[in-house]
A and B are shown apart, each in its own frame.
Chain A
Amino acid sequence: MLINQSILNGLPGRMRVDGMDLQSQMPLSFEMQGAAELPQQQNPGTNFADLLADAVNKVEGDHHKALNLGFEFAAGNTTIDPHQVMTAVAKAETELHLTSAVTTRVAQGYQTLMNMQI
């Protein structure tokens, strides 16, 4: 899954996410460019796009970790305990619910802002 923020205007930096190949064991990696060039006035925490991207990246990483554990367990790797697979799956599931709730509220807040009459 690729997130390319360069199409969004007015953002201080760019974030690139490498999706994890399910055959490989490499964990999810992302690099952040232009973070040092953040203008002093802009607060990154209030940037809706950054919040969304952060949350989605973390969920993607944990989701891939859980999937990989499940595949290895199914392939017969006996060093993996069943409870490790299930706790990884539960973590990914709760994170997904949390991200979905956060993005819903964030979008609602944005809508409220946009609907304000000037």
Chain B
Amino acid sequence: MGLYNVFDIGASALTANRFWLETIANNMANASATRTPEGGPYKRKMPTFQSVLDEMTGMGGGVHVTGTNQDQTPGPLIYKPGHPDADPNGFVRMPNVNVVTEMVDMITVSRSYDANVTIINAAKNMHQKSLEIGR
């Protein structure tokens, strides 16, 4: 109904950004995890977002998260002969998490969150202004 769609679309974007930040935090926390429950070193996770289409009106309905995918790029091999996960040559496969990449993604998420909150506030201000018609 009118401007209230903007509230819902903005809220879906904020939820997606919050999920992305969780993924980034998980990547950073596991930057040195050489073993995982499914075996092998930790692989960096990236969320995928899909736009929502409202069938009735044909207009956009926001965004929703379809899930996370693992980055299959192999991580670096570090020489650590005493490590329990070292292969026979003394090399350990570390996770493919790059601190700088994660930090840049975090800045992107933070700015995107701010921008979406600004849009919601703009919609609310427009709504308030429209009440002054005919005053």
Contact = CB atoms under 8 A, between A and B. Distances in A.
Interface of A: 81, 83-84, 87, 90-91, 94, 97-98, 101, 105
A105 B4 CA distance: 22
Contacts of A97: 127-128, 131
Interface in B37-66: none
B133 to A, nearest CB: 9
Closest 9 CB pairs of A and B: A83-B14, A87-B11, A101-B131, A94-B127, A87-B7, A90-B124, A91-B7, A94-B124, A81-B18
Interface in B85-135: 117, 120, 124, 127-128, 131, 134
Contacts of A84: 11, 15
A71 B4 CA distance: 23
B15 A81 contact: yes
Contact of A98 (B10, B18, B120, B127): B127
Contacts of B18: 81, 83
B131 A98 contact: yes
Contacts, number: 31
B interface, by DSSP: helix, strand, loop or mixed?
A: helix
Interface of B: 3-4, 7-8, 10-11, 14-15, 18, 117, 120, 124, 127-128, 131, 134
B46 to A, nearest CB: 21
Nearest to A98: B131
A111 to B, nearest CB: 16
Contacts of B8: 87
B4 A91 contact: yes
Nearest to A102: B131
B131 A87 contact: no
Contacts of A81: 14-15, 18
B135 to A, nearest CB: 9
Contact of B120 (A87, A101, A105): A87
Contacts of A105: 134
Residue in A84, A97, A101, A105 with the greatest tally of chain B CB atoms within 10 Å = A101
A94 B120 CA distance: 12
A83 B13 CA distance: 10
